[in-house]
């Protein structure tokens, strides 16, 4: 087994927004095929495709109505097979999303289950009787607002939906559900995919007794959260110990194939790092897991150090996946721009840091351009989160606007039609063509950093040991046992100088750094890779 995934760089493609080939304003599989050479040119190892399955698109494909077919807006199974073949020709592995905790309410399984309390799919979803006063069976809320329970008059029962009421939760306590989902995964493995990204992996199993969640501790500032979901500690509605058995069955399935891998999304504000460690410990569960701990506003050396150290303390033999952006959060350049002199400096610092972290790393389409969050009006939104919680939470559309390719083409080269989300001038200005010929661009910096990472075994497989430096300096060694690389970062818009051992040499791309004897000067957002730091 090559364990290609260990230390790999995975590039996330959001199909709706990558490249429109058909001209209908929505990205598609043929468009992805057209642009795969760009992805390969970055020096990444794999692509992760967000959902492209048949769906009514109430949550942009995260509501699946057929797990084993392509939605017509994206193309056909033949297009998918062509895309996988082309990716493999370019040396790219292919990971696809699997949305298994819930289905669309249009899925045939749910259409049968909602009819009554008997039948082949009656217990495939989470059903519960009302309380004597007609209220839902417990206090569980939906991530998207309101109760996590919706009434079905045909059964005279409530069904669970952790997200939209059109996304009913599957009942993983029913063995046939697990069996059926494993078969849908096998379908894609047989078509040649190299692995899966498992959506909401800690949501699979719920507390069978349907006990209430306890309240969450009050916010430090005393404010009530925008979303009441954040007022509970979700120890009953998700994060159940039985989840481990499900993961072990999935791992056993991948072990039937050669060099397949799974990465799980752990969504939890309090327990994510612990669950990441638990879900990847040993060799019978997930290959990798990631959380939202590096996808938020926090930007301090202490924060990044704590997350990395906490993970490996919990699972010395586990493996994390770290990302700074994805399709669910504001783009990191916009989140962290105040910590640098300009957006480009922050973007270049971010890839230097991320490429140095122990684990597998994920890039989200457009971040190689230093892409920023799109400012949208309410009338332009499609995301149910933004529509529900505007203006305090503007939702996820701002990071999902189309990829920008050429400034002289309509919609920056994404589509000749009207795009499903607008391409605005600040985003169009950051396009691939404009940055290709600029040696100082964010795009070219990404390529240099990723090539350096791939060339250094310390960054791919080396273990991490942090240095005790004051904020805003983040520094650590990456050791293989035979060689050491030291990484030093200035997470600040102000320059910093620190004393380092004599005899060091600066190597690799770096940014705004100068080494003069024992003085290492890091400009705003400056960073350096150093060789020769004494052992011990």
256 part of the active site: yes
Write down the catalytic residue from 133, 190, 256, 516: 256
- Report the b/e string of 32-51 with b at 16+ CB within 10 A: bbbbbebbbeebbbbbbbbb
**Type and span of the H or E element at 258:** none
Write down the catalytic residue from 71, 79, 199, 268: 199
Which burial class, exposed, middle or buried, applies to 28 when counting CB atoms under 10 A from its CB (0-12, 13-18, 19+)?
buried
**Type and span of the H or E element at 352:** helix 343-354
d(CA 335, CA 297): 6
- Strand-pair category, 46-49 with 9-13: parallel
d(CA 39, CA 86): 12
Alpha helices in 141-230 (DSSP H): 175-190
Q: Report CA-CA distances (Å) from 385 to 40, 145, 186, 267.
A: 33, 8, 32, 16
Copy the structure tokens of residue 74. 């994206």
d(CA 497, CA 523): 8
Report residue 507: phi and psi, to 5°. Answer: -130, 165
Q: Are 233 and 214 in contact (CB under 8 A)?
A: yes
User: What SS3 state is found at 288?
Assistant: strand
Just list the catalytic residues: 199, 256
């Amino acid at each position: 087994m090559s364990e290609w995934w260990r230390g790999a760089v995975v590039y996330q493609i959001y199909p709706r927004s990558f490249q429109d080939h058909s001209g209908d304003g929505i990205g598609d599989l043929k468009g992805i095929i057209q642009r795969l050479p760009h992805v390969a040119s970055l020096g990444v190892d794999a692509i992760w495709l967000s959902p492209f399955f048949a769906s009514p698109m109430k949550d942009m494909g995260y509501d699946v109505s057929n797990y084993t077919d392509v939605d017509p807006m994206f193309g056909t199974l033949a297009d998918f097979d062509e895309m996988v073949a082309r990716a493999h020709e370019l040396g790219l592995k292919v990971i696809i999303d699997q949305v298994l905790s819930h289905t669309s309410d249009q899925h045939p399984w749910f259409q049968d289950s909602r009819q009554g309390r008997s039948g082949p799919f009656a217990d495939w979803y989470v059903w519960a009787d009302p309380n004597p006063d007609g209220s839902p069976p417990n206090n569980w809320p939906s991530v998207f607002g309101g109760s996590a329970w919706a009434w079905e008059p045909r059964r005279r029962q409530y069904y669970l939906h952790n997200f939209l009421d059109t996304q009913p939760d599957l009942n993983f306590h029913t063995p046939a559900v697990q069996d059926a989902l494993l078969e849908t995964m096998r379908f894609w493995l047989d078509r040649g995919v190299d692995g899966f990204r498992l959506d909401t992996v800690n949501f699979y199993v719920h507390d069978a007794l349907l006990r209430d969640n306890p309240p969450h501790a009050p916010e430090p500032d005393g404010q009530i959260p925008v979303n009441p979901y954040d007022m509970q500690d979700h120890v009953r509605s998700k994060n159940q110990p039985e989840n481990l058995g499900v993961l072990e069955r999935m791992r056993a399935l991948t072990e039937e194939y050669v060099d397949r891998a799974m990465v799980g999304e752990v969504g939890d504000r309090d327990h994510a790092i612990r669950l990441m460690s638990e879900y990847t410990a040993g060799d019978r569960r997930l290959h990798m897991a990631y959380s939202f701990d590096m996808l938020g506003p926090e930007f301090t050396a202490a924060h990044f150090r704590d997350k990395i150290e906490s993970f490996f303390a919990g699972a010395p033999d586990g493996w994390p996946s770290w990302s700074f952006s994805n399709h669910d959060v504001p783009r990191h350049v916009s989140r962290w721009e105040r910590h640098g002199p300009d957006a480009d400096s922050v973007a270049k610092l971010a890839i230097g840091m991320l490429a140095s972290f122990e684990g597998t790393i994920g890039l989200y389409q457009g971040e190689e351009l230093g892409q920023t969050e799109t400012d949208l009006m309410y009338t332009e939104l499609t995301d149910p989160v933004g529509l529900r919680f505007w203006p305090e939470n503007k939702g996820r559309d701002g990071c999902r606007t189309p990829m920008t390719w050429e400034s002289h083409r309509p919609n920056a080269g994404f589509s000749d039609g009207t795009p499903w989300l607008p391409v605005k001038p600040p985003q169009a200005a950051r396009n691939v063509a404009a940055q290709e010929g600029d040696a100082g661009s964010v795009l070219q910096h990404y390529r240099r950093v990723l090539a350096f990472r791939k060339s250094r075994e310390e960054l791919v497989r080396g273990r991490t040991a942090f240095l005790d430096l004051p904020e805003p300096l983040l520094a650590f060694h990456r050791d293989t046992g035979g060689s050491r690389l030291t990484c030093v970062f200035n997470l600040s818009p102000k320059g910093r100088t620190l004393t380092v051992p004599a005899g060091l040499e600066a190597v690799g791309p770096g940014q705004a750094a100068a080494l003069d004897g024992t003085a290492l000067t890091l400009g705003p957002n400056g960073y350096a890779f150093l060789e020769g730091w004494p052992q011990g």
